[in-house]
Structure 1
Amino acid sequence: MDLKKALKAPEQQYIKNSSMLVTALFIIAGVLYYPTDGYGSVIALALAIIVMFGQKMLISQTRKYFAEMYAAKQQYEQTQNKDYLEFIRLRGTQMLNDNKVLSEQAKHEIDTLLNFVKQNSQ
Structure 2
Amino acid sequence: MNRRPVIVAIEEDADGDDVRVTITLDWEGRRHYGTAVGSAERSHRPRVAAEAALEAVERVGGNLQAELMAVATAEIGEARVALAQVRLGEDGEVLVGTALLADADPSLAAVRAVMAALNRRLGRVL
TM-score (norm 1): 0.27
Q: Which has the higher contact order (CA 8 A, sep 6+)?
A: 1
| Larger Cα-atom Rg | 1
More strand by share: 2
More helix by share: 1
TM-score (norm 2): 0.26
